[in-house]
Amino acid sequence: MRRNKKLDWLLSEPAATRLAHLASLSDEEKYELGPNWQLWARPEQLPPDGDWRVWLVMAGRGFGKTRTGAEWARQQVVGNPHVRLALVGASLAEARAVMVEGESGLLACCAPSRRPRFEPSLRRLTWPNGAQATLYSAAEPEALRGAQHSHAWCDEIGKWDNAGGRAVATWDNLLFGLRLGELPRVLATTTPRAVPLIERLLGEADTVMTRGRTEDNRTNLPARYIRDIRRTYGKSQLARQELDGELITDRAGALWTRALLEGCRDPAPPGGHARVVVAVDPPASAHGDACGIVVAALGHDGVARVLDDATVQRATPERWARAVAGAARSWQADRVVAEANQGGAMVESVLRAAEITLPVRLVHATRNKAARAEPVAALYEAGRVRHCGTFPALEDQLCGLVAGGGYHGPGRSPDRADATVWALSELLLGPRAEPRIVTDF
C-alpha cells in the first residue's frame, strides 16, 4: 500500500500551504487525519506492492519497526471483520508489553473509538467490527498447532529462542494455520541476527524484504541519542548490526557459528552451582583493548554456563580490578582466573589491592587465541556449554575466531572471548598445563 496522490501532493507543498489546507478541514476530517498512517509513514514503512506471503522488515534499532507492524496489523482489520490475526512475540510478556500496550503498539495506534478491547486472560483483542487478534509466545510452538489465522505479525524473530528448534517450529506451525481469507500474509519485524529462521526466510522466493538504519527515523529520535550512540559504537560490528541493520554472517572456518550459539541458549540459570569462576583477560594498557571479564558456572549436571559479560572498556588497573571484585561478589564466585602474560605479579597485586579474597589462579598462554579456543568450541558442539542470556559483543568475538587463522572479529583483540575460554577451560578442562616442548633433561 503506497501513498495516494492526494497525500503526495499535500506533503510536497510548502509548510504554509499545508497548514492552510489543514485549517480548512472539518473537525471530523481532522479527527481522521491523526491515525492516517499513509500520511505520516515513511515510504519504507508501507507494505510493498506485488504478490508476497512474507514481508520481512529487517532494520536497526529505533527504525520504527514496531510502529510499522502495529499499523500494518491495524490496516488489515479496517473494514474486514473476518480478520483473525496472530501476534507472535519472543514471549507472551513481550507480545503484550511491546506489540499491544507499548508506545507504538496496537492500542496506541488505534483511534479511541476504534480501539480493540484487550482481554489479557484470553490473550485476545477484539475490534468493534468483530475482527480479532490472539497473542502467542515463540517459546511455545505447540500453542499455534491447530490455530487458524488470516494474517500474522511476528516481532523480533531474530531473538526468538531456538533451543531445540523452537523458533523454527513456531514459524512452521504458524504457516500451517495461515489458511483463512483469500490472501494470508505475515509481517516479520526484526533487528538482524544470523539465526536459522532469518536465513531461511531470506532464501524463500515469496519473501520481500525492507532494510533500514536507525538514522532513517531521525526526525522521531532525540538528536543526542543518535550522536551518542554513534560515538559509542562507531562502525563496530555491533553497530553495523544493531544500528545499520546489517546481517552479520558467519566466517568460513569459524570455531563458533551463530546457529551454534543460538542452539546453546538458556533463558535463565538453574538454581545452585557446583562452582562459579570469574575469568579475566587484562589489557596491556589503560588506553588499549578492553579488559575481558566473564562469569561462568559449572552446574551439578556437568554443564557449564556463561552467566555474565562484565567486560570494561579503557579501564585503569584499579577500575578493572574493582569490576572483577564486583562480579565475584555478585555471583558468589569461588575463584578468579586471570591471564598473566602481561605481567603475572602485577596482575595478582592489582587484584589483591581490590580486596579480592578469593583464590586467584594465574594462567599463561603458550598458544595463539584460536588454538586455545578450539577445545572449548568442541565443548559447545558437544552440548556441554550454555549461555544464560544473550551477550552480543562476546558472541561476535567468538564468531571471529577462525581455526588456524587467528582472529577476524570486531576490535583488535578478542578480550571477551579469551576470558570465556579461560573460564570454561577452568571449569571443564581442568588446570592442565598447555602442551610445550621440554628441552631440559
User: What residues in the chain have per-residue pLDDT under 50?
Assistant: 1-4, 432-441
What pLDDT is recorded for position 288?
62
* pLDDT value for 438: 38
Q: Where are the alpha helices (DSSP H) in 273-383?
A: 317-331, 344-353, 369-381
Q: Which residues pair with 428 in a beta bridge?
A: none
The strand pairing partners of 87, in sequence order, are 135, 153
Domain 34-240: top CATH class: alpha beta
Specify the pLDDT at position 437.
39
Neighbours of 370 (CB within 10 A): 23
Q: Which DSSP string corresponds to 182-216?
A: SS-EEEEEE-----HHHHHHHT-TTEEEEEE-GGG
The residue type found at 64 is G
Residue 328, SS3 per DSSP: helix
The two beta strands, 406-407 and 401-402, are: antiparallel
Domain with CATH 3.40.50.300 in the chain: 34-240
> Can you tell me the distance from the alpha carbon of 228 to that of 250, in angstroms, rounded to the nearest whole number?
29
CA distances from 167 to 261, 262, 306, 346 (A): 14, 10, 22, 47
List of long-range contacts for 254-257, beta carbons under 8 Å, 24+ apart: 254/399, 254/400, 254/401, 254/402, 254/403, 255/370, 255/373, 255/374, 255/377, 255/398, 255/401, 255/402, 255/403, 256/377, 256/380, 256/395, 256/398, 256/399, 256/401, 257/399
Model confidence over 358-390: pLDDT tens digits?
Answer: 788 888 887 788 888 999 999 999 999 999 988
Answer CATH for 258-429 from 3.30.420.280, 2.40.280.10, 1.20.120.1200, 3.30.43.10: 3.30.420.280
In the sheet where 132-137 sits, what is the strand order?
117-119, 124-126, 132-137, 84-89, 151-155, 185-190, 54-59, 207-212
Strand partners of residue 281: 292
**Cβ-contact 183, 99 below 8 angstroms:** no
pLDDT for 34: 56
Decide: 246 and 390 in contact? Cβ < 8 Å: no
For CATH 3.30.420.280, the residue range(s) in the chain are 258-429
For residue 38, the model assigns a pLDDT of 76
Residue 39 Cα distances to 1, 44, 47, 156, angstroms: 12, 13, 14, 26
Per-residue confidence (pLDDT) for residue 342, from 0 to 100 = 63
